[in-house]
Amino acid sequence: MKLEGSVHSPLAPSELWDALRDPQRLADALPGVRLVDVLDVQSFRAFIEPATGLGVTPFELDVRIDDERAGEHVSISGAGRSGEQLVELEVEIDLSGRADGTAVEWNADVRFFGLLSSIGQRVLPHIAADMIESALQGAAQAEPV
């Protein structure tokens, strides 16, 4: 499923870019995160419990910060499992400086497998978009480690 959106951050592009490429701050910003295991400077494993159409569905999600252009762009990919449920995601984030902070444009390709794919077309796009936007806004507020 293809999604896109935009948010505003009060941070300057360079500060927001730093937050988005910091695995701990990014993980702290994700909604429903129960536990984070930072694997290296570009990847982490998060144990999340997002609310889905099936109730709370606990996932183990491996996330990697991929393509980066300082202060302008970051790509984040991930794959997760919850029993028979699978999710794969790729998120592209572009930052543009404004007088009052940063305009953030994002697009994502999110794929669900298992029962999650069957509850899908009405519920999951909203859940995925809300999680992405919450993470973008939360990354700006998370404290640097």
**pTM above 0.75?**
yes
Q: Give the long-range contacts of residues 78-85, CB within 8 A, separation 24 or more.
A: 80/48, 82/57, 82/58, 83/114, 84/114, 84/115, 85/54, 85/57, 85/59, 85/112, 85/113, 85/114, 85/115, 85/116
Pairing mode, strands 33-40 and 43-48:
antiparallel
What local confidence, expressed as pLDDT, does residue 117 receive?
Answer: 72
Is residue 46 in some structural domain? yes
- Domains contained in the chain, number: 1
Domain range enclosing 55: 2-118+135-141
Is residue 47 in some structural domain? yes
**Residue 41: count of CB within 10 angstroms of its CB:** 10
Higher pLDDT among residues 59 and 8, named by residue: 8
How many Cα atoms sit within 13 Å of 132 on the Cβ side? 28
Whether residue 1 is predicted with pLDDT greater than 80 in this model: the reply is: yes
Whether residue 37 is predicted with pLDDT greater than 60 in this model: the reply is: yes
Is residue 127 in some structural domain? no
Is residue 86 in some structural domain? yes
112 burial type by CB count under 10 A (0-12 exposed, 13-18 middle, 19+ buried): buried
Whether residue 99 is predicted with pLDDT greater than 60 in this model: the reply is: yes
What local confidence, expressed as pLDDT, does residue 30 receive?
Answer: 75
The pLDDT-based confidence of 97 (bands split at 50, 70, 90) is: very high
The amino acid sitting at 145 is: V
Tokens for 126?
A: 């909203």
The pLDDT-based confidence of 142 (bands split at 50, 70, 90) is: low
Q: Give the domain CATH number at 46.
A: 3.30.530.20
Is residue 128 in some structural domain? no
Is residue 125 in some structural domain? no
Rounded to an integer, the average pLDDT of 63-86 is: 87
Which range of 13-22, 55-64, 104-113 scores highest in mean pLDDT? It is 104-113
Question: What tens digit of pLDDT does each residue of 111-134 get?
Answer: 888 876 766 556 667 777 877 887
Is residue 68 in some structural domain? yes
Rounded to an integer, the average pLDDT of 75-79 is: 92
Is residue 87 in some structural domain? yes
